[in-house]
Every structure is written in C-alpha cells, then in structure tokens.
C-alpha cells in the first residue's frame, strides 16, 4: 500500500504521538498500549514492517523496551466488535460483507466443479438436443443438475434414454449416465466415470440465507462455458403458486443474478463458495428474475433417490395459507365466527376425492397441530409429511365458533 517506507513509519509514529500528546501515556506503565486498526490491505504490510520500524527508527527510540504497541487488525467492512463467523456454513463472514475479491473467491471455489451438459435424444422421427449445466458434488463423478435438461418433463414417466456428454472446466469430456430424475422438483443426478478424483463443490444450507445476501450463479448460458454472474437473494421462499405453476407445492430461491438458457442445472453459491441452490427457472417477461431449487430440498430429493430409487412426494389435496397476526385480525373483522386462534394454517380449498377430504377436512378449518406438533406454516406440515407417505396423521383443527376436532389424514403419492 505504501511504496515510501517513510510514510509507513509516520503512520505508526502518529499513533504513538497522539497518545503521548494528550497525557494519556504513562511511559513507566508497561500495561499502556495503543491499538492501531487497519483495513485488510494493510494487514500484511503492517504486521511485517512494525517490528523493523519500531526497532530501527529513531522516532521510536524513547519508548523502546517500555512502550508496548498492540496492533489490532480489523476489516474496514466489519465492526471490530463483530468478527465472529457469519457465513451460512459457519466458515467465514463473507456472506455478511462484500470485499473486492469476495465474488472472485467464491467463483474460484465453485468453478472447477461446474460442468457443461449436453443431452441428445433420438426418436423414430427426430433428434432433440438440450444444453445446460451441472455441479460435481462427489469426487466419484456424481453430478447434480436439473431434470428438464436430461428427462422428458411432459411425460408421466421420465424418459432417461439418450446420450449425455459432460464437459469439465478444464476441457475434458466424459460420457454420462442419468441415474435419477424427478420432474416435480426438477432435480436429476448424472454420473460420469473418471480414473482420478474430480473436483467437487461443497453443499451449504439454504435455510440460513437472507434476502439481500450476495450470491453467485455459474454455468454455461448460451453455450458460453465458465460464465459467472452475481446478484442478491430477492426472496428466500418464492412459492410455485406465485409463479403460476401447478402441481405439488414447491418453493424457490429468487435472485437477480443474470440467468439465461444454458444456466439450467448450474449452481447458485454463497460467498463462502457453498452451493445453496440449483438454477432451474427464469422469467421470460422480465430481467433479474431467476429461480433456484433450495439445496436443503435438493438434499432430501437425493436421499429419496438413494433410499427408494425415486422421489416420493406427499400429497394431502389441500390449498393452505399461513396465518399471520395481521391476517387473523382481518379475518376476525370479516366474520365473528372465525376461530379464536393466534397462529396456525388456514385450509382454503379441499380437492374432491383427496385424502384430506376423506379424513373430514373442510374449507375454513385452521390447522393448529399436525402429528402432535404445533404448526404455524405450510412448510412445517410438508416437512412433517416428507418421508412418511402412506401413514396416518392425527391433526387438530379449529373451526367456526371455536369448535375443535381431530381429523386423520393419510397422504398419498
């Protein structure tokens, strides 16, 4: 930072002089110390230069042996009182502060594990080709990507036949095999064989991310490999219904990272270089609207792949709404018969013939307990049912005029 050693000397001299001038320094008190806080670029310079400057410069000779200098380094972007690890994986505070190289460091950590995937499928009448991205998540060649890249999402049964070509960042090409694909979640697993271990990305936790947090998207948009874009998290739990998507309820991480055709299946990473999502969607009618499947949900899908060979999704047949205090107050104003509850989940629609209807659910019910556990959100109910397809659950609901009832519902695939 300082090319002139005299300027560096004067910086340290100013700290000593300021303390002495105000009468704050007792030269005979060995406990007296001066704390010099420096920004990150100065840390290395000051730590290596301070000893030589103090011992060899006459400006400091009056205090040699009696004037202890304590050099405390704190980043200019992080308050000295808050230097604890703040990253989503608990490894660093990068996710909470942005330095000059934060994005570059995250991209460098994830980049070697990002691959380009080409899927060619031939039918009796034509040949189709799709190109996207993926992430190596295990040195053995296991690759995480999206299902719509390597499977037939329009069919009731995913078609996994076709030629998969995987190109690594260093240019090596491998033939891949689609092991599993789940069209509901849009998650798939591809496997390649290599004689040597491959670079694998670290998986983070999507439950710890916050709106406004910096993230990085990597992939091969428009076949341009090794492309890095950055942005922030716009929403941590964008509902599939908000996007006009039917079927099983899903949640996405919304981001304003530049996402284009070819990014599908690529990773969304935090500034710690951890994967927190799989990029799968982009809004056609607007820029800066990209969506990724949260990594926590993806990990559950992969666990189903290992356990069952496929993903199993619970279904009750209910459309539900999280009840917040403001919504409860508004509903009570509209109807005096609305149940006297402080929290819960409101049932707005019951699908005819669904497991919930057979159990006795009705529109207007407020679910307060599910499987013996208090619930405040639809997500909590889904998490309880996640790997328990086919079993019965005891559900406590509150109805109009504060009538309570126990319903039993059996969720099905």
What are the catalytic residues?
148, 186, 264
What letter would DSSP give residue 153? Answer: T
What letter would DSSP give residue 201? Answer: P
Integer Cα distance of 393 and 356 in angstroms: 11
In Å, how far from its chain's centre is CA 274? 8
φ, ψ for residue 391, nearest 5 deg = -95, 165
Helix (H, G, I), strand (E, B) or coil at 406: strand
φ, ψ for residue 404, nearest 5 deg = -105, 145
Evaluate the CA torsion angle 41, 44, 46, 47 in order and state its sign: positive
DSSP 154-172: TSSS----SEEEEE-TTS-
Integer Cα distance of 328 and 322 in angstroms: 10
Integer Cα distance of 182 and 312 in angstroms: 9
Tokens of 53: 């400057």
Integer Cα distance of 310 and 160 in angstroms: 13
Integer Cα distance of 175 and 124 in angstroms: 23
Integer Cα distance of 94 and 80 in angstroms: 15
As separate numbers, helices (DSSP H) first and strands (DSSP E) second, the chain gives 8, 21
* Residue (of 51, 72, 73) closest to 60 by Cα position: 51
């Amino acid at each position: 930072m300082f090319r002139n050693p005299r300027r560096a000397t004067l910086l340290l001299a100013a700290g000593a002089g300021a303390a002495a001038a105000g009468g704050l320094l007792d030269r005979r008190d060995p406990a007296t110390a001066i704390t010099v806080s420096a920004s990150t670029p100065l840390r290395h310079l000051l730590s290596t230069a301070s000893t030589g400057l103090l011992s060899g410069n006459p400006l400091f000779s009056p205090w040699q042996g009696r004037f202890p200098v304590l050099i405390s380094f704190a980043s200019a972007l992080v308050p000295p009182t808050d230097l604890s690890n703040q990253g989503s994986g608990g490894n660093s505070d990068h996710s909470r502060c942005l330095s000059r190289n934060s994005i570059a460091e995250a991209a460098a950590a994830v980049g070697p594990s990002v691959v380009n995937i080409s899927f060619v499928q031939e039918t009796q009448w034509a040949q189709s080709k799709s190109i996207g991205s993926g992430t190596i998540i295990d040195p053995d060649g296991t690759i995480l990507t999206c299902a719509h890249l390597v499977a037939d999402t329009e069919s009731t049964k995913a078609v996994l036949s076709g030629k998969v070509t995987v190109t690594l960042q260093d240019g090596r090409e491998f033939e891949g095999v689609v092991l599993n694909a789940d069209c509901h979640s849009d998650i798939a697993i591809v496997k390649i064989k290599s004689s040597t271990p491959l670079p694998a990305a670290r998986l983070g936790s999507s439950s710890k991310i916050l709106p406004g947090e910096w993230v990085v998207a990597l992939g091969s948009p428009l076949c341009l490999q090794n492309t890095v874009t950055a942005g922030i998290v716009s929403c941590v739990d964008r509902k599939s219904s908000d996007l006009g998507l039917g079927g099983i309820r899903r949640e996405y991480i919304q981001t304003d990272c530049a996402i284009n055709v070819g990014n599908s299946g690529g990773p969304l990473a935090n500034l710690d270089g951890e994967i927190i999502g799989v990029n799968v969607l982009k809004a056609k009618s607007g820029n800066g609207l990209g969506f990724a499947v949260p990594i926590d949900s993806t990990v559950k899908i992969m666990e189903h792949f290992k356990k069952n060979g496929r993903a199993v999704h619970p279904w009750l047949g209910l459309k539900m709404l999280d009840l917040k205090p403001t919504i409860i107050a508004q509903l009570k104003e509209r109807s005096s018969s609305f149940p006297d509850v402080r929290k819960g989940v409101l049932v707005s629609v019951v699908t005819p013939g669904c497991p919930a209807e057979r159990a006795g659910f009705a529109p207007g019910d407020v679910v307060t307990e599910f499987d013996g556990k208090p619930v405040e959100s639809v997500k909590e109910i889904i998490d309880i049912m996640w790997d328990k397809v086919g079993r019965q659950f005891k559900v406590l609901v509150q109805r109009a005029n504060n009538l309570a009832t126990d319903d039993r519902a059996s969720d099905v695939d």
